[in-house]
Amino acid sequence: MYNASNSSKLALNDHEPVFDAANVLRAGRDLLYLISDSGNRCGAQWLQNCVGTDYRVRAYDNVYTGTHVDTTITLVRPGLVVVNAERVGPHNLPDMFRDWEVIYLSEVIDIGFTKTAYASTWIGINFMMVTPELAIVDSRQTPLIRELEKRAIKIIPLQLRHARTLGGGFHCVTLDVRRKGELATYCLG
């Protein structure tokens, strides 16, 4: 269901590093970095230089020109990921997820917006994992909730009423600065 028309010339050049934090999705020691209108290759290289050898920055390119990776891919737990089936298919799934169970979600509920939408309808897959078994999900996203519940994920259904208007979902508006446990390597290779 990947739509190649979403991939076109990017607005950024590579003269200097540019990226938005929401271009990056952390999976343990791997940092999936979306090349888009808000993150260039130079930014990926700069980030790799900053994090050194403790993390691996994996550039993810030719998906779509929009911004923020969390309307395209959302991690559930090590070994399970949700992807936007309009943008991601088996042919362009990041290598780091090749051995994972992938939920190719093809339907989200449009929650509407006021005046201007700063996010696509796919803000619906922008959810937040509290633990590997518990997710905060927009209560209107019944297709996503069904898929997660099939995999024994408990749901806290909430509404973030202006997510499309403000351009951010539950994952966007949170920042985990303190977590218990070990920093793991989720992906091989």
Q: What pLDDT does 164 receive?
A: 63
- For residue 183, which amino acid is it? L
For residue 87, what are its two tokens? 């943008």
User: Which member of 70, 138, 171, 172 is catalytic?
Assistant: 172
Per the DSSP assignment, residues forming a β-bridge with 83 are: 73, 104
CB 80 within 8 A of CB 97: no
What the chain holds in terms of domains, given with CATH numbers, is 1-106 (3.75.10.10), 107-176 (no CATH)
Q: What pLDDT does 110 receive?
A: 76
Residue spans of alpha helices (H) in the chain: 41-51, 142-150, 163-166
CB 22 within 8 A of CB 39: no
Q: What pLDDT does 68 receive?
A: 78
Examine the residue annotation and report whether 20 is marked as an active-site residue of this protein. yes
Examine the residue annotation and report whether 70 is marked as an active-site residue of this protein. no
CB 140 within 8 A of CB 109: yes
User: Which member of 20, 30, 37, 162 is catalytic?
Assistant: 20
Burial class (CB in 10 A: 0-12, 13-18, 19+), 181: exposed
User: Which member of 68, 70, 171, 187 is catalytic?
Assistant: 68
Q: What pLDDT does 150 receive?
A: 98
Output the CA torsion 120→85→146→133 (10° steps). Answer: -90
- For residue 25, which amino acid is it? L
Q: What pLDDT does 81 receive?
A: 96
| pTM of the entire predicted model | 0.84
Distance between terminal CA atoms of the chain? 27
Examine the residue annotation and report whether 68 is marked as an active-site residue of this protein. yes
How would you classify the pairing of strands 134-138 and 128-131?
antiparallel
Q: What pLDDT does 5 receive?
A: 41
DSSP string, 115-168: S--SS-GGGGG--EEEETTEEEEETT-HHHHHHHHHTT-EEEEE--TTHHHHT-
> How do the pLDDT tens digits run along the chain, 189 residues long?
323 344 456 666 778 888 888 889 888 899 999 998 888 999 999 999 999 998 999 999 888 777 778 889 999 999 999 999 999 999 999 999 999 999 999 998 777 777 776 667 777 888 889 999 999 999 999 999 999 999 999 999 988 777 766 667 777 777 666 667 777 777 766
Q: What pLDDT does 145 receive?
A: 97
CA–CA separation, 45 vs 58, rounded Å?
Answer: 10
